[in-house]
Amino acid sequence: MTALLEIEGLTASVEGKQILRGLDLELPVGEVHAIMGPNGAGKSTLANVLAGRDGYEVAGSVRLAGADLLEMSPEERAIAGVFLAFQYPVEIPGVGNSYFLRTALNAIRKARGETPLDAIDFMAYTKARMALVEMDPSFLGRSVNEGFSGGERKRNEILQMAILEPRLAILDETDSGLDIDALRIVAQGANSLRRDDRSMLVITHHQRLLDELVPDVVHVLAEGRIVKSGGPELAVALEESGYGILELEGSR
């Protein structure tokens, strides 16, 4: 069991306010780990720090397949195989979805020494992947996330993951704001992208997503560190009893 992602003593603060306080986590190749935890625990901060977003003071060590992730720019991390499914995907007016996706794919392919895909090859490449998230082809002609419903935005994130084929996919509350049907599509789409050589870090508040995308390990993140880890049953217990049980355990 080799680790893809090794996080040791990770701290992060924003404008002097400490959010992550010495987080340790090991994510083996091919496993899906869920991160749960109360609001404000630092879940989205963890996702952002791993993807290389500006604005955080970061210390500690994060290694991706042995390489120092914190040294890399966001685009270098993407090329190294880190993908973040955003909680709030932004709109980019006037930039066509297919153009955006193809530019991203080709940037990554080029960096990996693969030949870029032209528009026709890209269509063929994309078509099967769109079916995974039940997306209509007309969707490619629209501007990136412009006028998309919440569900469409999240499906678009999963589609991008399918297209970019990352080694490490971080899903930041991909289930938030979705109705039952959209949640099913997104969860099944993500689940179908499980691979032996791909690891996933699934940040969520709810058990529902994990019904489809069954994790190998569930971690509870509270007050900036992992306070408890367990099997999928931990998520069920948390859903039933809330995070209150953590404090009970912690105080014992």
Partner 1 sequence: MTDLTDAISGEKSQIEQFAEREYRYGFVSDIEADVVPRGLNEDIIRLISSKKDEPEWLLEWRLQAYRAWTTMTMPEWQMFHLDPIDFQDMIYYAAPKTKPKLESMDEVDPEMREMFDKLGISLAEQKRLSGVAVDAVVDSASVATTFRKQLAEVGVIFCSFSAAVRDHPDLVRRYLGSVVPFRDNFFSALNSAVFSDGSFCFIPKGVKCPMELSTYFRMNQADTGQFERTLIVAEEGASVSYLEGCTAPKRDNNQLHAAVVEILALDGADVKYSTVQNWYPGDAQGKGGIHNFVTKRGKAMENAKISWTQVETGSAITWKYPSVILQGDNSVGEFYSVALTTHYQVADTGTKMTHIGKNTSSTIVSKGIATHVAQNVYRGLVKVLRSAEGARNFTQCDSLLIGDSCGAHTLPYIEVKNSSAQVEHEAYTSKIGEDQLFYCRQRGISEEDAVSMIVHGFCRDVFKELPMEYVVEARNLLNMKLEGSIG
Q: In the complex, which residues of this chain contact partner 1 (CB under 8 A)?
A: 51-55, 73-75, 77-79, 83-84, 86, 88-90, 92-95, 100, 103-105, 107-108, 111, 143-144, 160, 164
Q: Which residue's CB is nearer to partner 1, number 38 or number 177?
A: 177
Phi and psi at residue 215, in whole multiples of 5°?
-80, 155
Closest distance to partner 1 from the beta carbon of 83 (Å)? 8
Closest distance to partner 1 from the beta carbon of 228 (Å)? 29
Which alpha helices (H) appear in the chain, and where do they start and end?
Answer: 43-51, 74-80, 97-111, 119-132, 150-164, 180-192, 207-212, 232-241, 244-251
Q: Which residue's CB is nearer to partner 1, number 36 or number 101?
A: 101
Q: Which residue's CB is nearer to partner 1, number 100 or number 243?
A: 100
Bridge partners, residue 34, by sequence = 202, 218
Q: Tokens at residue 62, please?
A: 């994060």
Closest distance to partner 1 from the beta carbon of 80 (Å)? 10
3-state secondary structure of 119: helix
Closest distance to partner 1 from the beta carbon of 166 (Å)? 10
**Spatial distance between the Cα atoms of 229 and 133, rounded to a whole number of angstroms:** 30
Q: Which residue's CB is nearer to partner 1, number 132 or number 144?
A: 144
Q: Which residue's CB is nearer to partner 1, number 14 or number 237?
A: 14
**Residues whose CB falls within 8 Å of the CB of residue 132, separated by 6 or more in sequence, listed in order:** 158, 159, 162, 189, 192, 193
Q: Which residue's CB is nearer to partner 1, number 158 or number 235?
A: 158
| Burial (0-12, 13-18, 19+ Cβ within 10 Å), 205 | middle
Closest distance to partner 1 from the beta carbon of 116 (Å)? 12
Closest distance to partner 1 from the beta carbon of 225 (Å)? 25
**Residues whose CB falls within 8 Å of the CB of residue 204, separated by 6 or more in sequence, listed in order:** 34, 35, 36, 171, 173, 174, 175, 210
